[in-house]
């Protein structure tokens, strides 16, 4: 009985540690730059700014600009292929932090318009 209790406790601790790996907070670009920690930034694609993706040169380099909910626009780099219909996204959530003056995203979540229902697309960046 004691062994079972110990196993349950150890398993619970393991689950908590695993679940706490992605405790990034929601914020804006200013908070992300000041804090230096992994932050989720909600915003929209800045369509007037350039989107850079050249799969012949580097298929895992994709950059674009996001305007956060405070109106601040920053360059975002995602080390992954450009998602299909990226330009049609209504809302973007990028998770990452600032490095060398730009926001390095580890994850991208897009909310895209759909004829029948809203669809969310999740992209994970390649580890560098």
Burial class (CB in 10 A: 0-12, 13-18, 19+), 110: buried
Q: Dump pLDDT digits (tens) for 11-66.
A: 877 776 665 555 568 889 999 999 888 999 999 999 999 999 999 999 999 999 99
E strand residue ranges, the chain: 25-27, 39-45, 52-53, 62-68, 73-78, 91-99, 102-112, 119-124
Q: Select from 72, 65, 77 the least CA-distant residue to 104.
A: 77
pLDDT of residue 119: 53
Q: Dump pLDDT digits (tens) for 72-107.
A: 999 999 999 999 888 888 899 999 999 988 999 999
pLDDT band at 7 (very low <50, low <70, confident <90, very high): confident
108 pLDDT higher than 70 = yes
Query: Could you give the domains of the chain?
Result: 24-111 (2.40.50.140)
């Amino acid at each position: 009985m004691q062994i079972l209790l110990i196993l349950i406790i150890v398993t619970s601790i393991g689950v908590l540690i695993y679940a706490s790996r992605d405790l990034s907070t929601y914020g804006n670009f200013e908070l992300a730059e000041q804090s230096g920690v992994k932050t989720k930034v909600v915003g929209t694609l800045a369509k007037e700014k350039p989107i850079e993706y050249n799969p012949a040169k580097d298929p895992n380099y994709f950059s674009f600009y996001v305007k956060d909910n405070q109106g601040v626009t920053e360059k975002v780099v995602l080390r992954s292929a450009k998602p299909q219909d990226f330009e049609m996204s209504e809302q973007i959530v990028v998770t990452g932090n600032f490095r060398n003056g730009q926001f390095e995203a580890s994850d991208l979540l897009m909310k895209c318009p759909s004829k029948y229902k809203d669809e969310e697309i999740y992209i994970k960046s390649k580890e560098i």
